[in-house]
Amino acid sequence: MDLEKSRAENEMNLTRRLEAEIKKSELVTWELQEQRVLLKSILENLPGAAYRCHLDEHYTMKYISEKIFDISGYHASEFIENAEKTFASIIHPDDRDFCRNSIINATKEKRHYEFEYRLMHKNGLVVWVSENGKGIYNDKEEHAYLDGIIVDITRRKEAEFAAAESERNYKELMHFLPQPVFELDIEGNILFNNKAGQEFFGLEDPEKSNKKLSALNFFIDEDIPRVIENIKKSNKAIKTLPNEYTVKKTDGTLCPVMIFGSPIFRNNKVIGRRGIIIDISEMKKQEEKLLKAKEELERINNTLEQSVAERTKQLTETNTQLLKVQKENLQSQFEVLKQQVNPHFLFNSLNVLTSLIKIDPDLAESFTEQLSKVYRYVLENKEKDLVSLSTELEFLNSYLFLLEIRFMKKLFINFKIDNSFYDYQILPIAIQLIIENAIKHNIFSKVQPLKIDIFVDDQLRLNIVNNLNLRETKLVSTGVGLENINRRYALVSDLKPEFIKTNNQFIAKLPLLK
């Protein structure tokens, strides 16, 4: 009886131990299954395809996550042990040597590798990927596998290519401009100088040189403190007014210039300064001629002891010369006006274009085309005193496209012009100057926009009417304004423009000429 009892107790103890072992085994199995589910979830949620492969000619896959289907169009099972496809076969032929050399060099030095290359998608398209991985070694420090992850970066590469293309278009437009255009870093070193600038100063393209060249080298000593002060203001995002300087060319000659500049922003931070240079040597010569004529007139008027006949003759000759000089000076001012096309407008447009290149490359390209049309119009018509109204309105279409992008529903311009007036003549750029004048002197927003109506009245005058919401501070004039339009009309017609300011409107009436 004792033996049977002992045997029964042993069997019960054995049964309990077996049950405990089974429960322990089931717990381990459950935990292993949980780990597998967790690992699968992690791999599926990675931004790319994780893999383990051999470093052979095929990159034979021991494992690759199903994310590879989203990248290449092939399922992971097709690559495992080269079942239906080798991974090497979908690498772009031009990138295969680069990929192998990058991995081999990294594994020799036992470091991580990271590089970008192209894959051929199942649909025939090219996919850009970034691969990051490292070699796995056994106990004998022998290479066993490669572990890594492959991420699709096609959208990023397309954005980079688009940005690079927009940048090229921007630089080409700058080279097209007839005035020198420059870009400086925050220390005043020249980063970019368009073809006109290179020819003006006799310089090589700074983008092709490894040497830093300071813009201060091209100013006379007396002007350098003012230049430094303007650069400091730009670095603090403070706008500066146009300034006259005397610059030195590489051949040693001096030239008076007017420089317009503004800060360059990247991510709301000032990284440099951009500007345009206007040669004002001809304008200075005209001023000097006018001054000499004035001095000559004063000298003649002071010679009172001469006879009445001689005095009358001298006065007549001097007055004739003075009128000629005044007319030449007026014509020179007109030529300077046509060449400048309001540099403030140009720089505002360049700042808008810089922002669009990063935000919307396609819109930046359209903006560049319209800005090119505006400048081409000025270049093609700069020798003309008059143009047809239809030609001027066609130019305004491109100009207004730039304003719409720049002010975003803060400015509304309404044309009501019958095409029967299209063959009439008008001063080139006059309408654009009046619109810029309205923008310059008024405050406006999306809530209180600036509205401009353009129409022809029954006296054959082109009316340009805008509502008034004047700025509290008066902007400094650059000399290109309504008086200039008056003088330009005086050169081509007896009809005079009229400018009327009421309590709530400003009205410009420009005669249409046959």
* Residues contacting residue 306 through CB under 8 Å, at least 6 positions apart: 314
The model's pLDDT over 298-335, given as tens digits with 9 standing for 90+, comes to 887 777 566 656 766 776 776 666 555 455 555 545 44
228-242, 332-346, 440-454: least confident range: 332-346
- Check: CB of residue 57 under 8 Å from CB of residue 49: no
> pTM for the complete prediction?
0.45
The model's pLDDT over 49-61, given as tens digits with 9 standing for 90+, comes to 999 999 999 999 9
Could you tell me what percent of the chain has a pLDDT over 70?
Answer: 83
Query: Which tokens belong to 348?
Result: 């505002």
In 3D space, the residue among 258, 251, 261, 243 whose CA is nearest the CA of residue 199 turns out to be 251
The model's pLDDT over 233-286, given as tens digits with 9 standing for 90+, comes to 888 888 888 889 999 987 888 999 999 988 988 888 998 998 899 989 888 888
pLDDT band at 482 (very low <50, low <70, confident <90, very high): confident
411-416 and 450-456 as β-strands: parallel, antiparallel, unpaired?
Answer: parallel
In terms of phi and psi (left: phi > 0; alpha: psi -120 to 50; beta: otherwise), the region of 252 is: left
pLDDT in the model for residue 177: 83
Residue 221's SS3 state is coil
pLDDT band at 42 (very low <50, low <70, confident <90, very high): low
In 3D space, the residue among 279, 354, 328, 377 whose CA is nearest the CA of residue 487 turns out to be 328
Residue 257's SS3 state is strand
How many angstroms separate the CA atoms of 107 and 142, rounded?
Answer: 11
Residue 84's SS3 state is coil
The model's pLDDT over 359-407, given as tens digits with 9 standing for 90+, comes to 777 777 787 888 778 878 877 776 678 999 999 999 888 888 888 888 8
pLDDT in the model for residue 507: 95
As separate numbers, helices (DSSP H) first and strands (DSSP E) second, the chain gives 13, 17
pLDDT in the model for residue 336: 45
Residue labelled with tokens 């992850």 = 149
- Decide: residue 194, CB within 10 A, 0-12 exposed, 13-18 middle, 19+ buried: buried
